[in-house]
Amino acid sequence: MKTLLVPVLGHDGLRAIVDTACLAGQRFDSIIEACSFRHALADYLRGNAAGNLPWHFEEQVRASDLARAEDLARKQVFAHAMETRGMREEAAPGLGVCFRWRAEPLCGDHVLGQQARLFSATVIGQPESTGASPEMATFETLLFESGRPVLIAPPAAPASLGESILIAWNGSTETARTIAFAEPFLRRARRIWVLAIEGSSVPGPSAQELAEALNRAGIAAEARTLTSSRFSSGEVFLAEAQALSSDLLIKGAYTQSRLRQMFFGGATSHILRHAKLPVLMAH
């Protein structure tokens, strides 16, 4: 986790995002790179005639005086937030945790998803998860197009990150991949729980088998399997994370299809709406 990307869309939730990025950066001596990010018109018109927009539309928006003033304001707010947390602006590589600002803004979800491929993870706020919101579209683009994990900041700034980790295990490829991305966190954690819920897993290894595999790799982990209940798996994972005082939840995203989760719900959707702790997700 040596390089973290923070797209700055506005001031809402920025404190929690910055605090989450700083906690991760301090843990790994990371370079935290922020940029001004704005949704392209196509992000709002996805599925309509957005592909027929004049090619120069976004260039005109990017070059406007208003957009430049907004980018400068975002830079100043972000830099002030970092400096108040003791973060310094990058002077030279290899000198510990620091931040820098990308001079050129990023416009559009797909551009952001492409740039995110260059970083260990992207740190974002909790997306608005009702309907086809632009925030949810951005989150899903990062998941499916960056090939990298997404670190989701909770609504309130966390006090710690990665000391006590809960792995929401369901036996899936998506969660196994997320665990692989999370190895830097796992190797520095004080305590790791692997939690599975009966009836909420796909065919695959058990929680005990995963914990044993982590232990063989030098990562101390404990397994726990709960019986099914009237609560959804997402509710149980979050309740257990709170009961165990976890400060990071590791969860593979969308083991069920996004369409199914949109209509019937699922652990990913519930966690995105209700998590009060940082969540590391990948697909």
Q: Please, what are the domains in the chain?
A: 3-153 (3.40.50.620), 164-282 (3.40.50.620)
Residue 45 has pLDDT above 80, yes or no: no
Model confidence at 17: pLDDT above 80: yes
Q: How far apart (Å, rounded) are the C-alpha atoms in residues 6 and 123? A: 5
pLDDT value at residue 27: 95
Query: How far from 75 is each of 14, 30, 105, CA to CA, in Å?
Result: 12, 19, 10
Is the pLDDT at 199 greater than 70, yes or no? yes
Using pLDDT thresholds of 50, 70 and 90, give the confidence band for residue 50: very low
Is the model's pLDDT at 23 over the cut of 60? yes
The Cα 195–Cα 237 span in angstroms is: 8
User: Which of 49-53, 114-118, 154-158, 206-210 shows the lowest per-residue confidence on average (mean pLDDT)?
Assistant: 49-53
CB 162 within 8 A of CB 251: no
Distances in Å between the Cα of 14 and the Cα atoms of 76, 90, 153, 206, 217 are: 13, 20, 9, 38, 36
The pLDDT assigned to 261 comes to 45
- CA-nearest of 278, 231, 233, 283 to 254 is 283
Long-range contacts for 54-58 (Cβ within 8 Å, ≥24 apart)?
Answer: 58/107, 58/108
Specify whether the CB–CB gap between 20 and 157 falls below 8 A. Answer: yes
pLDDT tens, residue by residue, 60-71: 555 577 888 889
Distances (CA, A) of 185 to 129, 200, 222, 250, 260: 26, 25, 16, 10, 31
Q: Is the pLDDT of residue 47 over 70?
A: no
* 40: pLDDT strictly greater than 90: no
Report the chain's terminal Cα–Cα distance, integer Å.
Answer: 17
| Whether pTM exceeds 0.85 | yes
- Indicate the pLDDT class of residue 112, thresholds 50, 70 and 90: very high
Cβ atoms < 10 Å from Cβ of 60: 10
In sequence order, what are the beta bridge partners of 191? 164
Residue 13 reports pLDDT greater than 90: no
The pLDDT value given to residue 135: 85
User: Between these two residues, 267 and 43, which has the higher pLDDT value?
Assistant: 267
Q: Which amino acid is at 41?
A: L
pLDDT digits (tens, 9 = 90+) for 162-187: 999 999 999 999 999 999 999 999 99
Higher-confidence position of 19 and 50? 19
Local confidence band at 200 (pLDDT 50, 70, 90 cut-offs): confident
Mean pLDDT score across all residues of the chain: 87
